Amino acid sequence: MSRTEYTAFWCENGSAPLAGLLEVEPASLRFEGRSADRQARRRVRFDEIRSFRLVRSPRERLLGRPAIVLEVGRAVPIRLSSPEPGALHELLDALTLAVNP
- The confidence score (pLDDT) of residue 86 equals 92
CB 78 within 8 A of CB 52: no
Phi, psi of 10 (to 5 degrees): -155, 155
Q: Please count the helices (runs of H) and the strands (runs of E) in the chain.
A: 1, 7
What would the pLDDT profile of 88-100 be if each residue is shown by its tens digit? Answer: 999 999 999 998 7
Question: What are the chain's domains?
Answer: 5-99 (2.30.29.30)
Nearest to 75 by CA among 30, 40, 44, 97: 44
What does the pLDDT look like over 62-90, one tens digit per residue? 999 999 999 998 878 999 999 999 999 99
pLDDT for the residue 101: 63
